[in-house]
């Protein structure tokens, strides 16, 4: 999620908030730069409506595939060590997320990998459907993509398919 760059001072903790913070995965060249993207790692059980944030991060630009890989890997290990089963990783299909999938060995032919915590299980990777629809809509409204034809125009706003 894109954010405006800003910072604030927390009087209680005596910390300046707003600089890039990806935990121990923060690239050295970003540690002194203001963050402008938020990353939230959440857990949601299958068949339930509640969602639990696991971690929040502030990055400069979208976090790289390598950083995402390490954050997801660490999140899975911590959840599994707390007896919370992680069966799937869901994200949008942005370039950096697809790169993270590749680091896990995921491609068009293989959408799962051996589970990190239990070799008897599979860890599945999914793209969330609302983002796919949103991407399709955004592609369709671009002026250079408006020349596709669904039917043949016969008269005012009447189409023959």
Which among 4, 34, 2, 43 is positioned nearest to 16, based on CA atoms? 34
Query: What DSSP string describes 91-125?
Result: E---HHHHHHHHHTT--SS--EEE-SS-TTSEEEE
Query: Strands, E, within the chain: which ranges?
Result: 8-10, 15-17, 37-43, 52-59, 88-91, 112-114, 122-127, 152-155, 158-160
How far is residue 60's CA from residue 32's CA, in Å, rounded to a whole number?
10
Q: Write down the pLDDT at residue 147.
A: 56
Q: What is the pLDDT along the chain (161 residues), one digit of tens a residue?
A: 777 788 788 899 888 888 888 888 888 888 889 888 889 999 999 888 899 999 999 989 889 999 999 999 999 999 999 999 999 999 988 888 899 999 999 988 899 999 999 999 999 998 887 777 777 777 777 777 655 555 554 555 554 54
Residue 130: beta bridge partners? none
3-state secondary structure of 45: coil
Q: Write down the pLDDT at residue 158.
A: 53
User: Backbone phi, then psi, for 72, in 5-degree steps?
Assistant: -65, -45
Q: What global pTM score does this model have? A: 0.75
């Amino acid at each position: 999620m894109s954010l405006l760059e800003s910072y604030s001072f927390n009087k209680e903790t005596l910390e300046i908030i707003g600089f890039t913070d990806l935990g121990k995965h923060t690239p050295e060249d970003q540690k002194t730069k203001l963050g402008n993207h938020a990353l939230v790692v959440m857990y949601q059980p299958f068949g339930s409506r509640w969602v639990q944030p696991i971690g929040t991060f502030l990055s400069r630009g979208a976090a790289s595939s390598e950083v995402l890989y390490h954050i997801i890997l660490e999140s899975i290990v911590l959840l599994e060590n707390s007896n919370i089963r992680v069966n799937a990783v869901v994200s949008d299909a942005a370039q950096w997320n697809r790169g993270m999938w590749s680091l896990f060995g995921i491609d068009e032919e293989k959408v799962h990998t051996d589970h990190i915590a239990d070799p008897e299980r599979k860890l599945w990777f999914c793209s969330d459907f609302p983002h796919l629809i949103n991407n399709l809509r955004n592609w369709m409204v671009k002026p250079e993509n408006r020349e596709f034809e669904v039917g043949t125009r016969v008269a005012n706003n009447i189409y023959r398919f």
